[in-house]
């Protein structure tokens, strides 16, 4: 019975025009994007190696330790997953004068887009009339008259929609992967297969969420014409509105100070304010020293002071006490102002983190955001990778500045004791280079678990709601 | 007669569930978007007050553009602070935020609402105009009276356009009127004119989707089929085409990446500093070399990038959504052309003062006074000449084409 019901649902879908249209569009888009993104990826790989070669030439000829920090900054190489998922790689850079505004205006499309927009739309198109349509056709009455239990019907509808969605998605993606793998230069590692499998599973789950929304809405409406309206309304809110509003709402609820303001304030604290405080402390400590050594009160020229320091041991102690007082004053001023800036920065960091977390939580109301986070994290093109990249950068940093640099400077000084080790060109082509490795699958999966859980939770809740709505449905 | 059909459409819309849902969506979205973008603008204005240069400082910053509330475009890139130093332009203090979630989803400005959500709404107004009446049998009745098909179609179009445009204009104008109460935002007369143009452009854009809906509705026998076709066409036109166009264009025009340029700048700078120290004398010459080489690189990048943008635009024109976005952001003064013009102006400003800057720096003069940076958004005439007019006309052509095809389809339709 149960199998007959699912088979009926699937047959009805498979023979329909909407399924055919969905399949064709999905197939063309997935394969097309895979082809274009693969080319894009290869171009990026070439560009990256070109940049590395340029860097090599520079390191051989002009590298000097004084300004090496800005030159050998760790750079993120393209990852093979970028043939499918664009992610939030640093395409947009407002810190540099040259920026590339095209992606800001027209975000590139990728697998995440195809799943989040198209699959959800297809799911709704397949299911918006699941119950109301059968009521209108009169088949629902017939089915129930034959003693088919209602739970079975609704479960079969959900399963049928899910299976129907999974088919075209997997087929299209397989074709897309073929395009990707046909390029011999795409280095698709085994780990990525695992990640891809999880992304596909999540995509099916995501489609399931929208299928269930369609089924729920259709069992709340008497006519399919109004059920498509409500479905699209819900879809628009969940897919097009909630995620986009979430960071703004979060900035409203959990404000963080403006970065510009903090930058100005810290600059003031460590510049003019520090000078004022230093001068004040200096005057104070010098007054104390003067009280102790009245001899310092005499006004002397620079030459006389020098002579006096050389001749008079008492004056010399006084002079040194004075110098220590000055140094102490400035050291204290630096420490006090430094602590203040650090506090400001910490406050900014904490507030920004709180805001980001809140924005993420709000956006997770939307299944689209969940899938975006999950897919970008699994493909190491998301926020998780930013953290991972920063960690790797820190490790490399230590290797270069703590181990390599002192050794190299020592070697230079051994050869040329009077040379300026900081501002002379030194061949650094043997320097340890930043080497990026993707995070292990375990870590990525861990990051993907919460959004996965939310999607699963959505499915359960929506199914329960659809079940209740269908039980109460008047089939006449 | 057209009037009677239009009136009938308006009345039936007013009574429908669809109209209620659509109205709810429209009010909700336009109001939220204006509120949120208004706050965003207020924050950026506060930031501008902090970074705005004192008279005489060699810093180029333009104040936030109030029209960016409606069309954010590249506003974030344009309101950065460009500090001119001895080695050229130094970009400081982008109004960036540490909240990384912003970079996941597009900005929900007014343009986004119109371009993505309201286009869907316009389709929903059109999708069952003919097929539903055929299914209900009222089409037969109507056509058996003394009314031509052209008039029925025109009346339907007008009635639906009115039921779409009137609430849209009401909500938008009301929201904007509320914005005008904020004394911190001052729209000049020119900017209000530009806003009116944005509204006209939005209506033109929405009208296209209404015509498209009627076209598909005339060609399909069932409204269920029509809605499916339209949803896919909509997704293609609004999301896929504009975005795949830029990707395809990149396959043909190679543009160096931002990171590559950045690294190159850094390398030039450190190399010249090193050479300057090694040779001892004439640091000024080395500074000039840095500035010159950066300019050359920038020029080369701009030429390539312009070629890329031109190609991407031409491909994107297949989609009215891209033409609309292009024209609207350029009119608002936050478009791609405007941004590259601003950057060219910054480079020109730098070149006009850099010799003095270097001389002053070498002479140890700390508090020198430089002419301030002036930037005015391109006049509308120039914006239109540079492509906005073409884009607007293109939208109109799309409109006429869709309506004409809808008429052809309807004229041949079997109404039984």
pLDDT above 60 for B94 = no
Q: What percent of chain B has pLDDT over 90?
A: 34
Chain B, 241 to 300: residues with Cβ < 8 Å from chain A are 242-248, 250-251, 254-267, 269-271, 273-275, 277-278, 298
A358, A384, A412: which is the final residue of a domain?
A358
Whether residues A283 and A203 share a domain: the answer is no
Contact B246 A258 (CB under 8 A): no
Check whether residue A75 and residue A30 sit in a common domain: yes
Run of H or E residues at B88: strand B88-92
| pLDDT tens readout for residues B402-415 | 999 999 988 887 77
Quick one: A428 and A370 in the same domain?
A: yes
- Is residue B305 within 8 A of residue B246, CB to CB? The reply is no
Based on the domain organization, do A324 and A247 belong to the same domain?
no
Q: What is the pLDDT of residue A100?
A: 78
Q: A70 and B266 in contact by Cβ < 8 A? A: yes
Residue B255 belongs to a domain = no
CA distances from A261 to A133, A351, B97, B350 (A): 58, 14, 12, 26
Residue B412 is predicted with a pLDDT of 85
The answer on A446 and A299 residing in a single domain is: no
Is residue B297 assigned to a domain?
Answer: no
- A142 alpha carbon, distance to own chain's centre: 52
The count of structural domains within chain B is: 1
**Do residues A141 and A240 share a domain?**
yes
Q: What are the pLDDT digits (tens) for B239-276? A: 888 887 888 888 888 888 888 888 888 888 888 888 87
Give pLDDT, residue A93: 57
Q: What is the DSSP letter of B177?
A: H
Which residues is B89 bridged to in the sheet? Answer: B84
Instruction: Spell out the long-range contacts of A9-12 with Cβ–Cβ below 8 A and sequence spacing 24 or more.
Output: A9/A156, A9/A157, A9/A159, A9/A160, A9/A161, A9/A164, A10/A160, A10/A163, A10/A164, A12/A160
- Separation CA B160–CA B154 (nearest Å): 10
Q: Residue B249: what pLDDT? A: 87
In chain B, positions 88-127, which contact chain A (CB-CB < 8 Å)?
Answer: 89, 91, 93-108, 112, 116-117, 120, 124
Residue B91 and residue A240: Cβ atoms within 8 Å?
no
Q: Examine residue A416 and state whether it is found in any structural domain, yes or no.
A: yes
Q: Do A62 and B259 touch (CB under 8 A)?
A: no
Does residue A178 surpass a pLDDT of 60? Answer: yes
Q: Kindly identify which residue of chain A lies nearest to residue B336, measuring between CA atoms.
A: A101
Question: Are the beta carbons of A73 and A394 closer than 8 angstroms?
Answer: no
Domain contains B292: no
Q: Total structural domains in chain A?
A: 2
**Which of A40, A249, A383 lies at the smallest CB-CB distance from B247?**
A40
Find the mean pLDDT for residues A130-158.
Answer: 87
Domain endpoint, select from A338, A358, A378: A358
pLDDT of B31-84, one tens digit each? 999 999 999 999 889 888 888 888 888 999 999 999 999 999 888 888 888 989
- pTM for the complete prediction? 0.90
Q: Do B93 and A25 touch (CB under 8 A)?
A: no
* Residue A296 belongs to a domain: yes
A132 and A66 share one domain: yes
A299 exposure class (CB count in 10 Å sphere: 0-12, 13-18, 19+): exposed
How far, in Å, CA of B388 to CA of B381, rounded?
A: 10
**CA distances for B80 relative to B256, B308, B413, angstroms:** 22, 24, 57
Q: What is the pLDDT of residue A91?
A: 45
pLDDT at A297 over 80: no
Across the range A187-193, mean pLDDT stands at 87
Contact A265, A344 (CB under 8 A): yes
- Does residue A186 register a pLDDT over 80? yes
Would you call A228 exposed, middle or buried from its count of C-beta atoms within 10 A (0-12, 13-18, 19+)? buried
Mean predicted confidence (pLDDT) in A56-83: 87
**pLDDT average, residue stretch A97-104:** 78
Which 3-state string (H, E, C) describes B18-61? Answer: HHHHHHHHHHHHHHHHHHHHHHHHHHHHHHHHHHCCCCCCCEEC
- Statement: residue A94 has pLDDT above 70: no
Does residue A95 carry a pLDDT above 90?
no
Q: Which residues are B90's β-sheet partners?
A: B83
Is residue B123 in a domain? yes
The confidence band for A180, taking pLDDT boundaries of 50, 70 and 90, is: very high
Decide if B243 is inside a domain. no
When pLDDT is cut at 50, 70 and 90, the band that residue B5 belongs to is confident
- Measured distance CA(B3)–CA(A462) in Å, rounded: 46
Per-residue 3-state assignment (H helix, E strand, C coil) for chain A: CHHHHHHHHHHHHHCCHHHHHHHHHHHHHHHHHHHHHHHHHHHHHHHHHHHHHHHHHHHHHCCCHHHCCCCCCCCCCCCHHHHCCCCCCCCCCCCCCCCCCHHHHCCCCCHHHHHHHHHHHHHHHHHCCCCHHHHHHCHHHHHHHCCCCHHHHHHHHHHHHHHHHHHHHHHHHHHHHHHHHHCCCCCCCHHHHHHHHHHHHHHHHHHHHHHHHHHHHHCCCCCHHHHHHHHHHHHHHHHHHHHHHHHHHHHHHCCCCCHHHHHHHHHHHHCHHHHHHHHHHHHHHHHHHHHHCHHHHCCCCHHHHHHHHHHCHHHHHHHHHHHHHHHHHHHHHHHHHHHHHHHHHHHHHHHHHHHHHHHHHHHCCCHHHHHHHHHHHHCCCCHHHHHHHHHHHHHHHHHHHHHHHHHHHHHHHHHCCCCCCCCCCCCCCCCCCCCCCCCCHHHHHHHHHHHHHHHHHHHHHHHHHHHHHHHCCCCC
CA–centroid distance for B79 within its chain: 16
Q: How far off is chain B from A287, nearest CA to CA, in Å?
A: 33
Higher pLDDT: B184 or A165? It is A165
Q: Is B85 helix (H, G, I), strand (E, B) or coil?
A: strand
Q: Given a cut of 90, is residue A148 above it in pLDDT?
A: no
By CB neighbour count within 10 A (0-12 exposed, 13-18 middle, 19+ buried), where does A437 fall?
A: exposed
Average pLDDT (B101-116) is: 90
Beta-sheet strand order (sheet of B59-60): B59-60, B81-85, B88-92
| Residue B340 burial (CB count, 10 A) | 17
When CB atoms are compared, the residue of A70, A105, A106 closest to B270 is A70
**Which range of residues forms the domain containing residue B342?**
2-236+323-411
Question: Which candidate from A39, A230, A245 shows the least CB-CB separation from B21?
Answer: A230
Residue B241 domain-assigned?
no
Q: Do both A350 and A373 map to the same domain?
A: no
Q: What is the pLDDT of residues B116-175, one digit of tens each?
A: 999 999 998 888 888 888 888 888 888 888 888 888 889 999 999 999 999 999 999 999
A171 and A224 housed in the same domain: yes
CB contact under 8 A, B301 and A98: yes
Q: Are residues A45 and A121 in the same domain?
A: yes
- Tell me the nearest-neighbour CA distance from A292 into chain B, angstroms: 40
Q: Which domain holds residue A280?
A: 259-358
| In chain B, residues 145-174 whose CB comes closer than 8 Å to chain A | none
Range from A326-335, A376-385, A466-475, B237-246 carrying the lowest mean pLDDT: B237-246
Please spell the DSSP secondary structure of B376-404, one letter per residue: -PPPHHHHIIIIIHHHHHHHHHHHHHHHH
Among A358, A381, A401, residue at a domain's last position: A358
Residue B387 maps to a domain: yes
The mean pLDDT value of chain A amounts to 89
Chain A residue nearest residue B270, CA to CA: A67
CA distance B360 to chain A (A): 23
Residue B93 in 3-state DSSP? coil
Domain-located, residue A476:
no
pLDDT for A231: 93
Quick check: is A321 in a domain? Answer: yes
Q: Are A236 and A267 in the same domain?
A: no
Give how far the C-alpha of residue B261 lies from the chain's centroid of Cα atoms, to the nearest Å.
Answer: 26
B306, part of any domain:
no
Encode pLDDT of A365-382 as tens digits.
Answer: 999 999 999 999 999 888
> Does A42 reside within a domain?
yes
For residues A286 and A366, state if they share a domain: no
């Amino acid at each position: 019975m149960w199998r007959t019901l699912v088979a009926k649902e699937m047959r009805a879908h498979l023979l329909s025009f909407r399924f055919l249209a969905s399949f064709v569009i999905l197939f063309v888009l997935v394969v097309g994007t895979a082809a274009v993104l693969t080319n894009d990826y290869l171009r990026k790989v070439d560009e990256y190696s070109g940049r590395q070669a340029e860097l090599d030439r520079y390191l051989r000829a002009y590298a000097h330790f004084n300004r090496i920090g800005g030159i050998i900054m760790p750079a993120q190489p393209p990852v093979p997953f970028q043939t499918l998922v664009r992610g939030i790689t640093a395409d947009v850079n407002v810190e540099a004068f040259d920026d590339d505004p095209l992606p800001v205006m027209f975000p590139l499309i990728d697998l995440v887009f195809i799943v989040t927009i198209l699959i959800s739309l297809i799911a709704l198109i397949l299911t918006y009339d699941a119950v109301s349509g059968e009521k209108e056709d009169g088949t629902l009455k017939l089915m129930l008259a034959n003693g088919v239990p209602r739970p079975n019907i609704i479960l079969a509808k959900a399963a049928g929609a899910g299976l129907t969605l999974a088919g075209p998605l997997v087929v299209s993606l397989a074709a897309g992967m073929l395009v990707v793998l046909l390029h011999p230069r795409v280095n698709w590692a085994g780990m990525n297969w695992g990640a891809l499998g999880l992304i596909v599973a999540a995509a099916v789950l995501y489609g399931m969420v929208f299928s269930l929304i369609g089924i729920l809405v259709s069992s709340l409406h008497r006519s399919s014409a109004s059920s498509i309206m409500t479905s699209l309304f819900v879809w628009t809110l969940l897919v097009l509105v909630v995620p986009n509003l979430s960071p703004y709402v979060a900035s409203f609820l959990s404000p963080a100070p403006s970065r510009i303001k903090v930058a100005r304030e810290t600059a003031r604290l460590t510049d003019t304010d520090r000078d004022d405080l230093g001068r004040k402390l200096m005057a104070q400590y010098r007054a104390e020293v003067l009280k102790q050594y009245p001899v310092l009160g005499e006004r002397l020229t620079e030459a006389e002071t020098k002579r006096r320091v050389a001749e008079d041991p008492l004056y010399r102690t006084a002079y040194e006490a004075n110098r220590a007082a000055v140094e102490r004053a400035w050291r204290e001023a630096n420490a006090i102002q430094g602590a203040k800036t650090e506090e400001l920065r910490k406050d900014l960091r904490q507030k920004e983190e709180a805001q980001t977390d809140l924005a993420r939580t709000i956006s997770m109301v939307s299944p689209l955001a969940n899938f975006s986070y999950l897919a970008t994290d699994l493909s190491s093109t998301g926020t998780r990778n930013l953290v991972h990249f920063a960690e790797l950068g820190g490790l490399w940093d230590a290797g270069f500045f703590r181990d390599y640099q002192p050794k190299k400077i020592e070697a230079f000084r051994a050869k040329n004791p009077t040379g300026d080790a900081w501002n002379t060109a030194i061949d650094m082509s043997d320097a340890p280079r930043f080497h990026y490795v993707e995070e292990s699958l375990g870590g990525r999966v861990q990051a993907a678990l919460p959004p996965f859980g939310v999607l699963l939770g959505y499915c359960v809740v929506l199914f329960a709601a659809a079940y209740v709505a269908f039980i109460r449905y008047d089939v006449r | 007669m057209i009037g009677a059909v239009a009136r009938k459409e308006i009345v039936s819309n007013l009574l429908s569930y669809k109209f209620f849902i659509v109205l709810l969506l429209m009010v909700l979205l336009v109001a939220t978007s204006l509120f949120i973008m208004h706050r965003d603008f207020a924050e950026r204005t506060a930031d501008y007050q902090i970074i705005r240069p004192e008279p005489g400082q060699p810093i180029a910053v333009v104040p936030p553009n109030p029209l960016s509330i409606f069309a954010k475009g590249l506003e974030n890139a344009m309101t950065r602070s460009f500090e001119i130093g001895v080695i050229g332009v130094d970009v400081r203090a982008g109004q960036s935020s540490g909240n990384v979630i912003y970079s996941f989803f597009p900005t929900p400005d007014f343009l986004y609402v119109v371009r993505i959500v309201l286009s869907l709404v316009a389709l929903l107004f059109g999708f069952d105009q003919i097929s539903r009446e055929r299914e209900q049998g009222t089409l037969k009745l109507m056509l058996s009276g003394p009314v031509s098909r052209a008039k029925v179609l025109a009346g339907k179009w007008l009635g639906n356009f009115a039921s779409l445009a009137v609430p849209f204009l009401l909500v938008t104008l009301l929201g904007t009127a509320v914005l005008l109460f904020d004394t911190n935002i001052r729209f000049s007369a020119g900017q209000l004119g530009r806003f009116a143009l944005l509204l006209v452009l939005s209506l033109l854009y929405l009208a296209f989707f209404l015509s498209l809906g009627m076209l598909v509705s005339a060609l399909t026998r069932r409204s269920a089929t029509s809605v499916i076709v339209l949803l896919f066409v909509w997704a293609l036109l609004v999301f896929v085409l504009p975005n795949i166009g830029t990707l395809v264009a990149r396959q043909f025009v190679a543009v160096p990446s931002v990171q590559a340029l950045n690294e190159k700048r850094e390398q030039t700078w450190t190399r010249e500093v090193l050479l300057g120290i090694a040779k001892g004398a004439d640091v000024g010459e080395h500074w000039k070399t840095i500035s010159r080489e950066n300019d050359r690189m920038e020029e080369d990048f701009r030429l390539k990038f312009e070629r890329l943008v031109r190609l991407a635009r031409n491909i994107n024109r297949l989609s009215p959504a891209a033409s609309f976005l292009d024209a609207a952001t350029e009119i608002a003064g936050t478009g791609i052309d405007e941004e590259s013009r601003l950057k060219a102006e910054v480079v020109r400003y730098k070149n006009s003062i850099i010799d003095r800057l270097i001389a002053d720096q070498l002479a140890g003069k700390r508090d020198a006074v430089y002419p301030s940076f002036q930037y005015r958004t391109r006049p509308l005439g120039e914006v239109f000449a540079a492509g906005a007019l073409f884009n607007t006309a293109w939208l109109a052509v799309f409109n006429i084409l869709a309506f004409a095809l809808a008429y052809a389809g309807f004229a041949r339709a079997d109404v039984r």
